[in-house]
Amino acid sequence: MKFKLQRFFKKQGKHLPLRVHIQIRNGQFEIMGMGAWYSYWGDPYHLLLTIPWTGFFLLICSLYVAINTLFAFAYWLGGDCIANAKAGSFLDAFFFSVQTLASIGYGAMYPKTIYANVIVTIEAMIGVMGVALMTGLAFARFSRPTARVIFSRMAVVTQHQGMPTLMFRTANQRRNMILEAQMGVYLMRDDITVEGELMRKIYDLKLIRNQTPSFSLSWTVMHIIDESSPLYGMTSESLKLTQALLIISVSGIDDTVAQIVHARHSYSANEILWNYQFVDIMHHTPDGHRYFDYTHFHDVLPLNEVV
């Protein structure tokens, strides 16, 4: 029984990396190789979904040339098995393979032996499956929903309704709506347990509003730092000492494609400014209308300079 369990766990963990490196840059925790396309060599489907478009087309073209070269070699081994092709011409065999794989069928060259017909049958089947596979992969890459959501470069801790409040901005870059948008904010920091063990803990931050029926322009997210807040009693220095990190997650339904979209951002302790306030971006026109000036979206001012 013990031997079977050992084999089971060995099988389950055979693809786990032996060591994962984490680098800390300006307070940001970076898992080396996380989400990088070149880390999916053992998972071809994810590799083809994450590889850049240039690499995707180069890989497809390389596979196409390789398959045609392989079948051209098979035709070439069959001798004079293709009508109207030069005997022993590998180039004619290659172009006949291209026509067969793509189901072009010009008719100028055609198989004239049983051997050639068998190879043509195999290649035609591979061609049909290859077209279906490439079409599916291209559609999967094109159809992946993405959210064009930006976040302010800095988060601030300022006064709001007489209470210290954590704030940051986010905006929808598309001129459409993200319906039923949900916002989640989490504090990650190093804590020491009562047993003296160092642990990386995650705390939920309660927001004044964590959802909106339609996210179309800008959203100022606020968390009140009261006695129940994990940030209560903390300072800029204590955030840095505990390697604190704010993790932001927003999701909703894109009104254009009717699919769920996600966006993620994080703020290190160095990117949280205390006693600062965002420059107002919403203004009124003389005729009673309003407009947003996104040129000051990232701008902040010390509280003593706010007019």
* Alpha carbons 30 and 13: distance in angstroms, whole number: 23
The answer to whether position 9 is within a domain reads no
Residues 92 and 187 reside in one and the same domain: no
Residues 226 and 276 reside in one and the same domain: yes
Segments forming the whole domain that contains residue 259 = 149-305
CATH number, domain with residue 221 = 2.60.40.1400
* Alpha carbons 172 and 257: distance in angstroms, whole number: 15
Q: Which amino acid is at 278?
A: F
Are 226 and 232 contacting, i.e. CB atoms less than 8 angstroms apart? yes
Residues 288 and 190 reside in one and the same domain: yes
Q: How confident is the model at residue 211, as a pLDDT?
A: 92
Q: How confident is the model at residue 294, as a pLDDT?
A: 85
Mind listing the pLDDT tens digit of every residue in the chain (307 residues)?
Answer: 545 445 544 444 445 555 655 666 665 556 655 555 455 566 777 777 778 888 888 988 999 999 999 999 999 998 889 988 888 899 999 999 999 998 887 878 989 899 999 999 999 999 999 889 888 888 888 877 778 899 999 999 999 988 999 999 999 888 888 899 999 999 999 888 778 788 888 999 999 999 999 888 889 999 999 999 999 999 999 999 988 999 999 999 988 888 888 999 999 999 999 999 999 888 888 887 888 888 889 999 998 765 4
Residues 162 and 128 reside in one and the same domain: no
Picking from 143, 178, 195, the residue at the C-terminal end of a domain is 143
The answer to whether position 251 is within a domain reads yes
The DSSP secondary-structure symbol of 129 reads H
The answer to whether position 159 is within a domain reads yes
Residues 72 and 180 reside in one and the same domain: no
Strand partners, 130: none
> What are the DSSP calls for 240-289, one per residue?
HHTT-EEEEEEEEEETTTTEEEEEEEEEEGGGEEETEEEPP-EEE-TTS-
* Alpha carbons 239 and 156: distance in angstroms, whole number: 13
* Alpha carbons 208 and 211: distance in angstroms, whole number: 9
- How far, in Å, are 60, 150, 183, 237, 256 from residue 245 at the CA level? 40, 18, 16, 13, 33
Residues 296 and 156 reside in one and the same domain: yes
Helices (H), 33-108: 44-50, 53-77, 90-101
Residues 130 and 165 reside in one and the same domain: no
Q: What angle do CA 95, 101, 103 make, to 5 degrees?
A: 100
Residues 138 and 187 reside in one and the same domain: no
Picking from 143, 160, 194, the residue at the C-terminal end of a domain is 143
The answer to whether position 11 is within a domain reads no
Residues 159 and 283 reside in one and the same domain: yes
Residues 100 and 184 reside in one and the same domain: no
Picking from 121, 143, 165, the residue at the C-terminal end of a domain is 143
Q: How confident is the model at residue 5, as a pLDDT?
A: 45
Q: Which amino acid is at 223?
A: H
**103-110, Cβ contacts within 8 angstroms, sequence gap of 24 or more:** 103/127, 103/128, 108/84, 109/82, 109/83, 109/84, 109/85, 110/82, 110/83, 110/84
Are 120 and 111 contacting, i.e. CB atoms less than 8 angstroms apart? yes
Q: How confident is the model at residue 225, as a pLDDT?
A: 94
* Alpha carbons 253 and 179: distance in angstroms, whole number: 5
Residues 137 and 157 reside in one and the same domain: no
* Alpha carbons 281 and 109: distance in angstroms, whole number: 69
Number of folded domains that form the chain = 2
